[in-house]
Amino acid sequence: MPHSFSLRVYYEDTDLAGIVYYANYLKFIERARSEWVRGIGVDQVALKAEQGIVFAVRRVEADYLSPAKFDDVLSVTTDVQDITAARITLTQDVSRGDETLFKSVVTLVCLGADGRPHRLPADIRQLMQR
């Protein structure tokens, strides 16, 4: 089931043209991913402290369709596309109402304390696949 995260565009998010600066969409989808992980019951701080496991972005495919502007209320939808032993692929779309402004495919990897790929714990994989 897709996760939805709402946010408002602040002045600091915009550029000279008054539209959301392109790199800020990456911040928006990062916030949404953090809330999705928290919402399914994964404590990333505890996961790192207890098992030495963290999630890192490996790849982002981004498609900017239409600009968001100051004071817009946006919704970021996060949906699991695929999960393997150490990789999670998500689709994340940013919308204003019914209009999709930004589409992305984000690949995350699970890393151990040594910075090398690590298997995603089975219980976390199950939570993410719901």
What is the pLDDT at residue 69? 97
Nearest CA among 68, 64, 63 for reference residue 17:
68
What is the pLDDT at residue 108? 97
- Which pLDDT band, with edges at 50, 70 and 90, does 125 fall under? very high
What is the pLDDT at residue 130? 80
The catalytic site residues sit at 15
Both tokens of residue 115? 């910075």
pLDDT digits (tens, 9 = 90+) for 12-37: 999 999 999 999 999 999 999 999 99
What is the pLDDT at residue 30? 98
pLDDT digits (tens, 9 = 90+) for 74-113: 999 999 999 999 999 999 999 999 999 999 999 999 999 9
For the entire predicted model, the pTM comes to 0.93
Contact criterion met (CB below 8 Å) for 16 and 70: no
What is the sign, positive or negative, of the torsion defined by CA atoms of 97, 65, 6, 55?
positive
pLDDT digits (tens, 9 = 90+) for 33-79: 999 999 999 999 999 999 999 999 999 999 999 999 999 999 999 99
- Enumerate domains of the chain plus CATH numbers: 3-129 (3.10.129.10)
6-14: long-range pairs with CB below 8 Å, 24+: 6/73, 6/74, 6/75, 6/76, 7/31, 7/73, 7/74, 7/76, 8/71, 8/72, 8/73, 8/74, 9/68, 9/69, 9/70, 9/71, 9/72, 9/73, 9/74, 10/70, 11/70, 13/70, 14/69, 14/70
What is the pLDDT at residue 1? 80
